[in-house]
Amino acid sequence: MSGNKFTDTFRHKGLRKKLTETVRQKGISDENVLRAMEAVPRHWFFDSGFLEFAYEDKAFPIAAGQTISQPFTVAFQTQLLQVKKGDKILEVGTGSGYQASILYQMGAKVFSVERQRALYSKAKEMLPAAGYLIKTFFGDGYKGLPAFAPFDKIIVTAGAPYIPDALKEQLKPGGILVIPVDDDDYQIMTSVKRNADGSFETMQHGRFRFVPLLGDKAHD
């Protein structure tokens, strides 16, 4: 990676401060989330064609027909996770690596799985070069990562047709899963808490729009 790729100027920092304020005004109140958003240079995760838009509160295309999520959505999902320093977190859908880096910045141990080979390969190289020591995996997130389970938190960053049992089962007692679940042409942001007695509590948090969680026909 060239040094240029990881420059972070006063202009970038200013744009990030503004973006963080926008996200705050839209309802994010967890100061740890806002601090992480102000710290992580979102432009590092962009393809060059869209660089000038890196600090807009919008989703943008990345490789393989996928997207880097809208900052508000990243903040909203992260807030629902109630991240604590030292949490062991599984992310399904590495994509650009931005969401995983926000979690890492908050002091979590992050495991992230991606179903598209090109995105996995890029993130595996880029994240450590940028200083984000995230464990990346190529695989099908529907299955979670049983070899590394259980997790304190699990976040899914693509729209799922249903809540996979494998993910619920890989939560520790007291753990939280945040997943957008399909409902016609949008998704309902859903959180699932695993109680100490093994039962699950599900809550819904409004409509969002995500690219779909890919099944068996994804590209290897």
Measured in whole angstroms, the distance separating CA 202 from the mean position of its chain's CA atoms is: 20
Handedness of CA 58, 24, 204, 109 (dihedral sign): positive
8: number of Cβ within 10 Å: 13
Does 92 bind ligand SAM (CB under 6 A)? Our answer is yes
Does 78 bind ligand SAM (CB under 6 A)? Our answer is no
Among 55, 60, 72, 141, binds ligand SAM (CB under 6 A): 141
Site string for ligand SAM, 101-120 (x = CB under 6 A): ------------xxxx--x-
Measured in whole angstroms, the distance separating CA 24 from the mean position of its chain's CA atoms is: 18
Among residues 57, 99, 80, the alpha carbon closest in space to that of 188 is found at 80
Q: Which residues pair with 29 in a beta bridge?
A: none
Only one of the segments 2-10, 136-144, 165-173, 175-183 lies at the binding site for ligand SAM (rule: CB under 6 A); that segment is 136-144
Kindly list the catalytic residues: 69
Among 44, 55, 72, 98, binds ligand SAM (CB under 6 A): 98
Among 77, 96, 187, 191, binds ligand SAM (CB under 6 A): 96
**Residue 146 contacts residue 140 (beta carbons within 8 Å):** no
Which chain residues interact with ligand SAM by CB under 6 A?
66-69, 92-93, 95-96, 98-99, 113-116, 119, 140-142, 157-158, 210-211, 213-214
